[in-house]
Amino acid sequence: MSAPRLGSIESGGSKFVCLVGSAPDRIEAETRIPTGRPGPTLARAIDFFRETAARTGPLDALGIASFGPLELRPGHARFGHLAATPKPGWSGVDVAGPFAEALGVPVGIDTDVNGAALGEGRWGAARGLDTYVYLTVGTGIGGGAVIGGKVARGLVHAEMGHLTVPRIAGDSFPGSCPFHGDCWEGLAGGEAMGARWGSPPEELAGEALARALRMEAAYLAAGLRNIVYTVAPQRIVIGGGVAAFAGLFPLLRTELTATLAGYPGLPEHAAEDFVVPARLGRLAGPAGGLVLAAGAAAAARRSPGAGPSGGTGA
Amino acid sequence: MSAPRLGSIESGGSKFVCLVGSAPDRIEAETRIPTGRPGPTLARAIDFFRETAARTGPLDALGIASFGPLELRPGHARFGHLAATPKPGWSGVDVAGPFAEALGVPVGIDTDVNGAALGEGRWGAARGLDTYVYLTVGTGIGGGAVIGGKVARGLVHAEMGHLTVPRIAGDSFPGSCPFHGDCWEGLAGGEAMGARWGSPPEELAGEALARALRMEAAYLAAGLRNIVYTVAPQRIVIGGGVAAFAGLFPLLRTELTATLAGYPGLPEHAAEDFVVPARLGRLAGPAGGLVLAAGAAAAARRSPGAGPSGGTGA
């Protein structure tokens, strides 16, 4: 059987990354489209897939790892639509439907974070695991859980950035979250770090950087502890700009071990392969789109004619 | 097709509740065995199922909702064994194996909390949902998540009692958890309430009770917020002694709405059917054993000859 020909979109606030291929190292065509108004942006992306298909052969399916918040409840009338978002013009937009209609192929859609989780699970740092968490720690914090091989999703997709965690003694920074002030993201996202220390984390150095990373590790560990006790992941994979700081991961492992305090006493939680950096980098989201496309193709074989579907690890 | 004949055990620190039936309202035989030393206790339970089968017909399968901590990783050499537990003599005991061997039927096993979660999902307050959380708030706090119809489980079963949450301003109680001091259970379990207020919660009255319940609702809401953001459940069902206090649930809904602070802004989170009391009461665990038994019977039909299996919602 030949490799499937899958389309993938990672849609973000600044650009749509569109590609055709079967794996992150088997990409046949790729383009980047600046995120403008919805109509023209979606039309340009559709054109890319149509032209690629005309040139190299038809697609089997398309997967979209999209910025949110997205309606993803199966069977919901607005499945695959964006909810209220500050991005001008995008609130309520149907992201999945226009592709399904224009391209005539099965379409899978999930959040960008869940997409990255699926990509890391298929080809990256969570390969071979069926229950793990992917976190991105950049300007903000977002997370997705894959449990028993499927993206966890109930009323809404998982979130994780807005956990409540105790304030670290001596930290008087009020927090940067517009909803909660001092939630996890409000205390430990990149925006919070920049506001607390007076300059973006990438501009800190020496003792100022060391102090910032110690506090960052302690706050991140508090949220990781809550995730560990809630879903018992086999591994936590962390991507995003803040996670790229050399030296953060050893501090984070030490702080996590300290805050777990011997409960439940598993050696796995203290091991170097429990909290790890993401491996796919910028390709995590596009790789997730490929996993979503493969899942949509499989779902269409089981239920021909069904509409766009949510993410699975299948 | 006639109803299956299922055996169920809820094993606790003080007693083993054993029954045969097909549903909480269709129980053919039942017994309670005080939890003594492992050998004789397990032998008496085995005798009950043997004698019931001899009298009324063979069992199709057995399910066990057991106190923990349990090893539940599929394929693990010690699957179905207890890990270190303070209960004298029970550390390391194989809970599932002796029943599978003596009775010759498929055996399913999970924690008592996950069992109660499955029971509430099949016959109780989470009926018809596939992604929900069951919490017990008694002396301590324990929780289980059912996600996409299956009990969430990774390195270990979910836990939830030991989340870290911010201290409420003015509360100087140090916390009662032997591992963490002021974790969620250490601040909001029944033992913590008794220690903080100087008498067990069921002995409080009037303004003292009202004050205790206000603080309890605020602490419980903090942990619920973390669970909501991590697994996005469709509903949270709460059982256990503390949850039985009249008046706690309205306070809890108000506090949860306040701490979510409009994010992600779903009306469902503020609805009366989002955080609800458990419905099966003392029967939740035994009902969970029946669900585990049915799951084990189904697993055995798919893979005849496999060993004891973990819980699913199937």
Kindly determine whether residue B165 and residue A164, on different chains, have CB atoms separated by under 8 Å.
yes
Contacts of residue A131, Cβ cutoff 8 Å, sequence gap at least 6? A145, A146, A147, A148, A149, A231, A232, A233, A234, B152, B153, B154, B155
Contact status of B180 with chain A (Cβ, < 8 Å): yes
pLDDT digits (tens, 9 = 90+) for B238-270: 999 998 998 999 999 999 999 999 998 899 999
**Structure tokens belonging to residue B265:** 């802004």
**B-chain residues near A143 (CB < 8 A):** 230
Residue B54 reports pLDDT greater than 90: yes
Asked whether residue A237 is domain-assigned, the answer is: yes
> Span B52-72, mean pLDDT?
95
B175 three-state secondary structure: coil
What is the dihedral angle through the alpha carbons of B218, B277, A263, A166, rounded to the nearest 10 degrees?
A: -20
Q: Domain residues for A293?
A: 6-115+282-302
In this prediction, residue A313 has a pLDDT band, given cuts at 50, 70 and 90, of very low
Q: What is the pLDDT of residue B313?
A: 46
Backbone φ, ψ for residue B118 (5° rounding): -65, -40
Residue A5 reports pLDDT greater than 90: yes
pTM equals: 0.94
Residue A314 reports pLDDT greater than 60: no
**A-chain residues near B226 (CB < 8 A):** 163-164, 226, 230
What is the dihedral angle through the alpha carbons of B203, B205, B209, B211, rounded to the nearest 10 degrees?
A: -140
pLDDT digits (tens, 9 = 90+) for A25-36: 999 999 999 999
Among B82, B230, B256, B274, which would you mutate to test the A interface (most chain A Cβ atoms within 10 Å of its Cβ)? B230
The pLDDT > 90 percentage for chain B reads: 85
Q: Does residue A118 contact residue A110 with C-beta atoms inside 8 Å?
A: yes
Among A114, A129, A164, A237, which would you mutate to test the B interface (most chain B Cβ atoms within 10 Å of its Cβ)? A164
Backbone φ, ψ for residue B187 (5° rounding): -105, -25
pLDDT digits (tens, 9 = 90+) for A165-187: 999 999 999 999 999 999 999 99
Contact status of A273 with chain B (Cβ, < 8 Å): no
First vs last C-alpha separation in chain A: 18
Kindly determine whether residue A229 and residue B180, on different chains, have CB atoms separated by under 8 Å.
no
Asked if B269 and B141 sit in the same domain, the reply is yes
Contact status of A227 with chain B (Cβ, < 8 Å): yes
> Span B137-145, mean pLDDT?
95
Please tell me the total count of domains within chain B: 2
Closest CB to A234: pick one of B155, B261, B263: B155
Asked whether residue B298 is domain-assigned, the answer is: yes
Mode of pairing for the β-strands spanning A275-277 and A235-239: parallel
In this prediction, residue A306 has a pLDDT band, given cuts at 50, 70 and 90, of confident
pLDDT digits (tens, 9 = 90+) for B179-198: 999 999 999 999 999 999 99
Kindly determine whether residue B230 and residue A160, on different chains, have CB atoms separated by under 8 Å.
yes
Residue B61: CB atoms within 10 A of its CB come to 27
Q: Which residue is it, tokens 């789109």?
A: A289
Asked if B274 and B286 sit in the same domain, the reply is no
Q: Which residue is it, tokens 């930290």?
A: A171
Asked whether residue A309 is domain-assigned, the answer is: no
CATH of residue A65's domain is 3.30.420.40
Asked if A237 and A97 sit in the same domain, the reply is no
* Segment holding B62, helix H or strand E: strand B61-66
The interface residues of chain A toward chain B in range 72-111, judged by CB-CB distance below 8 A, are 83-84
The interface residues of chain A toward chain B in range 115-174, judged by CB-CB distance below 8 A, are 131-132, 143, 145, 147-148, 150, 152-167
Closest CB to B231: pick one of A230, A259, A263: A230
pLDDT digits (tens, 9 = 90+) for B5-27: 999 999 998 999 999 999 999 99
**What is the distance in angstroms between the Cα of A83 and the nearest Cα belonging to chain B?**
10
Asked if B263 and B287 sit in the same domain, the reply is no
Q: Does residue A109 contact residue A151 with C-beta atoms inside 8 Å?
A: no
pLDDT digits (tens, 9 = 90+) for B211-232: 999 999 999 999 999 999 999 9
Asked if B106 and B24 sit in the same domain, the reply is yes
d(CA B51, CA A177): 62
Cis status of the peptide bond prior to B4, with omega within 30 of 0: no
Asked if B152 and B225 sit in the same domain, the reply is yes
The pLDDT > 90 percentage for chain A reads: 85
Q: What is the pLDDT of residue B184?
A: 98
In this prediction, residue A311 has a pLDDT band, given cuts at 50, 70 and 90, of low
Asked if B136 and B100 sit in the same domain, the reply is no
The interface predicted TM-score (ipTM) is: 0.93
Alpha-carbon radius of gyration of chain A:
20
**What is the distance in angstroms between the Cα of A167 and the nearest Cα belonging to chain B?**
7
pLDDT digits (tens, 9 = 90+) for A76-89: 999 999 988 888 89
d(CA B153, CA B204): 37
Asked if A38 and A156 sit in the same domain, the reply is no
Q: What is the pLDDT of residue B95?
A: 97
d(CA B130, CA B112): 19
Asked if A270 and A168 sit in the same domain, the reply is yes
d(CA B21, CA B23): 6
Closest CB to B131: pick one of A69, A154, A263: A154
**B-chain residues near A117 (CB < 8 A):** none
Using CB atoms within 10 A of its CB, is residue A75 exposed (0-12), middle (13-18) or buried (19+)?
exposed
Find, among A122, A4, A130, the residue nearest to A65 by Cα. Answer: A122
One-character DSSP codes across B196-222: HHSS-GGG--HHHHHHHHHHHHHHHHH
Q: Does residue B103 contact residue B59 with C-beta atoms inside 8 Å?
A: yes
In this prediction, residue B1 has a pLDDT band, given cuts at 50, 70 and 90, of low
Asked if B155 and B267 sit in the same domain, the reply is yes
Of the listed ranges A1-5, A87-91, A127-131, B288-292, the one predicted with least confidence: A1-5
Searching chain B, which residue's CA lies closest to the CA of residue A223?
B164
Searching chain B, which residue's CA lies closest to the CA of residue A269?
B155
pLDDT digits (tens, 9 = 90+) for A221-268: 999 999 999 999 999 999 999 989 989 999 999 999 999 999 988 999
The residue ranking higher by pLDDT, B310 or A160, is A160
The interface residues of chain B toward chain A in range 48-77, judged by CB-CB distance below 8 A, are 69
> Span B153-167, mean pLDDT?
92
Kindly determine whether residue B261 and residue A229, on different chains, have CB atoms separated by under 8 Å.
no
Using CB atoms within 10 A of its CB, is residue A106 exposed (0-12), middle (13-18) or buried (19+)?
buried
**Average pLDDT, rounded, for chain B:** 94
Asked whether residue A314 is domain-assigned, the answer is: no
Asked whether residue B160 is domain-assigned, the answer is: yes
Asked if A159 and A257 sit in the same domain, the reply is yes
d(CA A229, CA A263): 9
Asked if A66 and A180 sit in the same domain, the reply is no
Residue A39: CB atoms within 10 A of its CB come to 11
Asked whether residue B108 is domain-assigned, the answer is: yes
Asked whether residue B122 is domain-assigned, the answer is: no
Find, among B81, B26, B29, B32, the residue nearest to B50 by Cα. Answer: B29
Residue A1 reports pLDDT greater than 60: no
Asked whether residue A61 is domain-assigned, the answer is: yes
Find, among B120, B131, B128, the residue nearest to B235 by Cα. Answer: B131
